[in-house]
Amino acid sequence: MNSSATNAQPVIQPPLAVRVVGSVLLGLAVATMAMPLSNGIKVILLILAVGGAMMFTFSHPYRRDVRTEVEKRGERYRTSVNQIMPLFPLWLALMILPAFALNSWVIALIVAVIAGGYAWMVYPHIDGTKHIRPMQN
């Protein structure tokens, strides 16, 4: 196999269940802003969805492998800007959607699919596994 192709692949991949649950919950979080619910309920759902996504991701047992791999390289195990920046479009959607006062279950479903799909694509960046490359000998 081509060594450059091997080096392009992250050492650790987020488990499928973590990626699915996290993406669905982040999509739900953004979609709450388009739901026809009171603002108090929207905020509660938003906090529960984002908190659930992050808690499920960062408390999953695969995080031990991530930590071990990071520390094996002599780096500190911490959140980086590279993990936070992919969340910016989701945050921006959370801030902009209420201005449109959509309040529609259909629009909320469309927003959930789009936001969840985006979260699925960037999930390895969010959990930090995308940036762990094989060590050079």
Angstrom distance (rounded) from CA 104 to CA 109: 9
Q: What are the residues whose beta carbons fall under 8 Å from the beta carbon of 65, sequence distance 6 or more?
A: 12
Q: Which amino acid is at 131?
A: H
pTM > 0.75: yes or no: yes
Residue 83: the pLDDT is 79
Q: Show the tokens assigned to 101.
A: 């006062």
Task: Identify the residue with better confidence: 127 or 108.
Answer: 108
Q: Is pLDDT above 90 for 64?
A: no
pLDDT in tens, 29-46: 999 999 999 999 999 999
DSSP string computed for 10-42: -SS---HHHHHHHHHHHHHHHHGGGSSS-HHHH
What separation in angstroms does the CA of 102 have from each of 1, 13, 31, 113, 129? Answer: 51, 37, 11, 16, 36
pLDDT in tens, 74-117: 777 777 787 788 889 999 999 999 999 889 999 999 999 999 99
Task: Identify the residue with better confidence: 46 or 64.
Answer: 46
- Are 37 and 107 in contact by the 8 Å Cβ rule? The answer is no
Q: Is pLDDT above 50 for 130?
A: yes
Q: Show the tokens assigned to 5.
A: 């192709």
In this prediction, residues 3-9 reach a mean pLDDT of: 55
- Are 81 and 56 in contact by the 8 Å Cβ rule? The answer is no
| % of the chain at pLDDT higher than 90 | 51
